[in-house]
């Protein structure tokens, strides 16, 4: 329903209710007033009749008729027993046939004196005339007479009230017409700018230029000004958003990496040219939903994790002779963002580097063995303490160091290339740790370094699934590093126990420790926190890199915790899936 119609109907209803209320009030108040005035008049007339009646009761019927004609109202004379002794409307012969009036309310009230003045009043339909009448009874009169009752019809009252109600209704109807016309005009004046204001709001929502109305009503004018200000502010914001969106779209489109965004249901909403090219789709090809975009299990698991709001690690994907690296994250609106990077050249360079290192290390192994052998022979043949003996020892020491370096490079290349996989068996951590410590026992004893193996709680971390040879190599590298940096009188502790998702194995020392700037890089190959000291003590810089790759080959992870002067702790977690039995 339109606003104009609603305002018109509302105003008309209010006025109609007001007129109706006036008519009802006029009926009640005027009727009550007129009936009270008539009752007072009837009371006066009844008292006058009681005074004018003759003492002879035989003349009462004629007297009632004569006095009734004079005052114009019906007079009824009633004795103490309730019998009618005279009535204006009945002759002497008909009086005996009238009902006993002692039960009439007004007669009973007048005789009983309930009002305190011997007056009774009642309003009802007359049994004899069948019209609404008002009866007033007054106690008194000549001896032998109990009550003088005077009555009159209320048709006059009804007529007067009806005329007043008609006049009020006519005035109300006239006022209703005038008010309705005024309400219609006023409603149109108020509703027109509101309707136009709604049209302006729809135009703003549709991105069109709105036409703002004019209004002399202050409240409506304030709304118009507010909508105009909002439109100007929205224009500025939309222009800024369009500019930012165009910049973002241009930036994404010029990226060499593929960028792909999906909504909460997995539908792709943003896709740049690089992503189409890397995924093998043409400019006009339709892409399936994100959950169906990849067929490789790791990529599908990454997509499922991101769409579920979880973090996922980047995964490698081989697609049409390309090596792709896919990374992603969940968006605040429950969508997903994927970044696809072409790492084909990088993977090829890594392969070339690994092959080069492996080949060079393999080729160096034979001549280094020969150099070490000849150096040992020279050391045995020359005299002790001579310069030749010192030269031979230097050659032998450096040859053995290069052999260790070559062995470590070969081990690292073998692990990185994927040609080696751990052969999982139940291992006793304490037994393997003590067995691995044997070659280092003499060095530790000479430097008074204490070695301890702790499994806590007892038995929970004592056995888990791992490659025994790999575990020995891990512990060998960690023991060698710990001995190298632990001062005399120090300690080395091996501990194992259950942890969330697997078994935690730690190797700790109370040596010199590592500063915070070097700690994140200690697992890089050839990285030394103290290069001069490591080189002097025969370190190759590959021990912790080998440890990291061996632990990750088991599906676990490794981290270093250290502080200068407080020692170093290497924490390794072996997962339960391939871990504790």
Confirm if 344 and 320 have CB atoms less than 8 A apart.
no
In angstroms, the CA 358 to CA 336 distance is: 41
The rounded percent of the chain whose pLDDT value lies above 90 is: 6
Predicted pLDDT at 423: 82
Predicted pLDDT at 581: 40
In angstroms, the CA 441 to CA 450 distance is: 10
Using alpha carbons, select from 457, 451, 455 the residue that is nearest to residue 493: 451
pTM: 0.45
Predicted pLDDT at 508: 92
Predicted pLDDT at 378: 77
- Per-residue pLDDT of the chain (581 residues), as tens digits, is 565 677 667 777 777 787 777 777 777 777 788 888 888 988 898 889 888 899 888 888 898 889 988 888 889 999 988 899 999 988 888 888 888 888 888 888 888 864 457 888 888 887 666 778 888 999 988 888 889 999 888 877 777 777 777 777 787 778 778 777 777 777 667 777 777 777 788 787 777 777 777 776 677 778 778 878 888 888 888 888 888 888 888 888 888 888 888 888 888 888 888 888 888 888 888 888 888 888 888 888 888 888 888 877 888 888 778 888 888 888 887 788 888 888 888 878 777 766 666 666 666 767 877 787 877 787 777 767 777 777 877 887 777 667 666 666 666 666 666 666 788 888 888 888 999 999 899 988 989 999 999 886 554 545 678 888 888 888 988 998 888 888 899 999 999 888 877 889 999 998 888 877 778 778 876 666 654 444 445 456 677 888 888 888 888 889 988 888 888 999 999 887 443 44
Q: Could you identify the residue written with the tokens 């060095």?
A: 443
**3-state SS record for 325-360:** EEEEEECCCCCEEEEEEECHHHHHHHHHHHHHHHHH
CA distance to 156, 172, 214, 536, per residue, from 183 (Å): 39, 15, 20, 105
Confirm if 379 and 400 have CB atoms less than 8 A apart.
no
Predicted pLDDT at 138: 92
Buried b / exposed e across 240-267, counting CB within 10 Å, b at 16+?
eeeeeeeeeeeebeeeebbbbbbbeebe
Confirm if 558 and 548 have CB atoms less than 8 A apart.
yes
Query: Which domains are present in the chain?
Result: 3-159 (3.30.450.20), 255-342 (3.30.450.20), 346-416 (1.10.287.130), 425-578 (3.30.565.10)
| Omega within 30 of 0 (cis) for the link into 497 | no
The continuous run of DSSP H or E covering 136 comes out as strand 132-139
Q: Could you identify the residue written with the tokens 């958003």?
A: 241
378 token code pair: 């020279």
Sequence length of the chain is 581
In angstroms, the CA 542 to CA 526 distance is: 6
What would you measure as the largest C-alpha separation in the chain, in angstroms?
187
Using alpha carbons, select from 471, 458, 369, 387 the residue that is nearest to residue 429: 471
Confirm if 148 and 77 have CB atoms less than 8 A apart.
yes
In angstroms, the CA 335 to CA 289 distance is: 12
Axis crossing angle, helix 387-416 with helix 344-381, rounded to the nearest 10: 150
H-helix segments, 417-467 = 429-437, 441-446
CA distance to 14, 30, 160, 161, 318, per residue, from 33 (Å): 28, 5, 12, 10, 106
Predicted pLDDT at 451: 92
Predicted pLDDT at 494: 92
Taking the C-alpha atoms of 249, 251, 256 and 260 in order, what is their torsion angle to the nearest 10 degrees?
Answer: -40
């Amino acid at each position: 329903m339109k606003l104009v119609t609603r305002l018109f109907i509302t105003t008309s209803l209010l006025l109609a209710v007001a007129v109706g209320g006036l008519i009802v009030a006029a009926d009640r108040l005027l009727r009550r007033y007129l009936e009270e005035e008539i009752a007072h008049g009837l009371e006066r007339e009844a008292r006058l009749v009681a005074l004018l009646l003759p003492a002879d009761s035989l003349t009462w019927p004629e007297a009632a008729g004569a006095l009734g004609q004079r005052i114009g109202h019906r007079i009824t004379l009633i004795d103490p027993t309730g019998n009618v002794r005279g009535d204006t409307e009945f002759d002497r012969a008909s009086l005996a046939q009238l009902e006993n009036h002692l039960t009439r309310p007004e007669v009973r009230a007048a005789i009983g004196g309930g009002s305190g003045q011997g007056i009774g009043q009642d309003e009802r339909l007359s049994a004899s005339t069948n019209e609404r009448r008002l009866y007033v009874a007054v106690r008194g009169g000549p001896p032998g007479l109990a009550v003088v009752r005077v009555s009159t019809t209320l048709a006059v009252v009804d007529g007067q009230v009806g005329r007043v109600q008609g006049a009020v209704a006519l005035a109300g109807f006239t006022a209703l017409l005038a008010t309705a016309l005024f309400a219609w005009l006023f409603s149109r004046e108020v509703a027109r700018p509101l309707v136009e204001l709604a049209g302006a709001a729809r135009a703003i929502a549709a991105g069109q230029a709105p036409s703002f109305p004019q209004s002399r009503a202050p409240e409506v004018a304030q709304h118009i000004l507010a909508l105009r200000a909002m439109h100007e502010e929205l224009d500025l914001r939309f222009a800024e958003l369009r500019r930012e969106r165009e910049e973002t779209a241009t930036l994404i489109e010029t990226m060499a990496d593929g960028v792909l965004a999906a909504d909460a249901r997995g539908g792709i909403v943003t896709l740049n040219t690089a992503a189409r090219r890397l995924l093998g789709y043409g400019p006009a090809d339709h892409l399936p939903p994100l959950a169906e975009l990849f067929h490789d299990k790791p990529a599908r698991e990454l997509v499922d994790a991101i769409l579920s709001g979880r973090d996922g690690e980047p995964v490698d994907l081989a697609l049409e002779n390309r090596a792709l690296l896919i990374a992603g994250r969940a968006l605040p609106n429950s969508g997903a963002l994927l970044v696809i990077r072409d790492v084909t050249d990088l993977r090829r360079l890594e392969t070339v580097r690994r092959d080069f290192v492996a080949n060079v290390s393999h080729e160096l192994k034979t001549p280094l063995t020969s150099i070490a052998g000849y150096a040992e022979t020279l050391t045995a043949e020359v005299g002790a303490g001579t310069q030749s003996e010192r030269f031979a020892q230097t050659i032998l020491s450096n040859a053995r160091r290069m052999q260790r370096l070559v062995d470590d490079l070969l081990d690292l290349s073998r692990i990185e290339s994927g040609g080696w996989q751990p052969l999982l068996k139940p291992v006793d951590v304490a037994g393997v740790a003590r067995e691995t410590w044997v070659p280092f026992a003499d060095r530790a004893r000479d430097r008074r370094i204490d070695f301890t193996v702790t499994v806590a709680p007892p038995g929970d971390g004592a056995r888990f699934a791992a490659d025994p040879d790999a575990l020995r190599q891990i512990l060998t590298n960690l023991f060698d590093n710990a001995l190298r940096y632990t001062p005399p009188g120090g300690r080395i502790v091996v501990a194992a126990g259950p942890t969330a998702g697997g078994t935690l194995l730690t190797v700790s020392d109370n040596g010199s420790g590592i500063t915070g700037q070097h700690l994140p890089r200690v697992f890089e190959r050839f990285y030394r926190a103290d290069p001069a000291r490591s080189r002097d003590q025969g370190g190759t810089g590959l021990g912790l890199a080998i440890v990291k790759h061996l632990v990750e080959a088991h599906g676990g992870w490794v981290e270093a915790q250290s502080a200068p002067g407080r020692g170093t702790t290497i924490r390794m977690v072996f997962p339960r899936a391939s871990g504790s039995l």
